[in-house]
Amino acid sequence: MSDLKAPEQSTKRSLGSLIGSLPELISRLIRGEIALAKTELATKAKEAGVGVGLLVGAALFGFFLLAVLITAGVLGLATVVAPWLAALIVAAVLLVITAVLALLGIKALKKGVPPTPEKAVASVKADVSALKGQGSYDSEKH
């Protein structure tokens, strides 16, 4: 029991002193968290940038691969029909594929335009109405 000593007077702080130092401590904590978040985001952005660059390179080589495959298709078909007809047939197939993809893309874009989060807006309106006492809150929707 002789090992247990009362803390020195200099380490004791009054409750008022502790409460008074809270704003400064909280401010330092928040600044530290923001600095950590900035560092982490910078690292992740750099990694994402490298990934995007590699994907762009892959897409470029994929484009050239597609061009070579189309050329191979034309040359292969040219062994059966005249070369000009082979090129025309392959062009027609590519035109059909392009048209189908364009129509599907337009249809998909129409679903997303305008980019309004309709369900979220409706949910917020319902919450505001419930807070005003004009509606009810459905916890299963949230």
More confident residue, 141 or 122: 122
Q: Containing domain of residue 50, as a range?
A: 18-77
Regarding whether 91 and 52 lie in a shared domain, the answer is no
More confident residue, 21 or 79: 79
From residue 106, alpha-carbon distances to 37, 99, 100, 112, 116 in Å are: 39, 11, 10, 10, 18
Mean pLDDT of the chain: 85
137 close to 127: Cβ distance less than 8 angstroms: yes
More confident residue, 7 or 119: 119
Query: What residues contact residue 108 under an 8 Å CB cut-off, 6+ apart?
Result: none
Regarding whether 72 and 52 lie in a shared domain, the answer is yes
Tally of domains in the chain: 2
Query: What residues contact residue 75 under an 8 Å CB cut-off, 6+ apart?
Result: 86
Is the per-residue pLDDT at 1 higher than 50?
no
Regarding whether 67 and 26 lie in a shared domain, the answer is yes
Interval 73-97: pLDDT, tens: 999 999 999 999 999 999 999 999 9
pLDDT at res. 93: 97
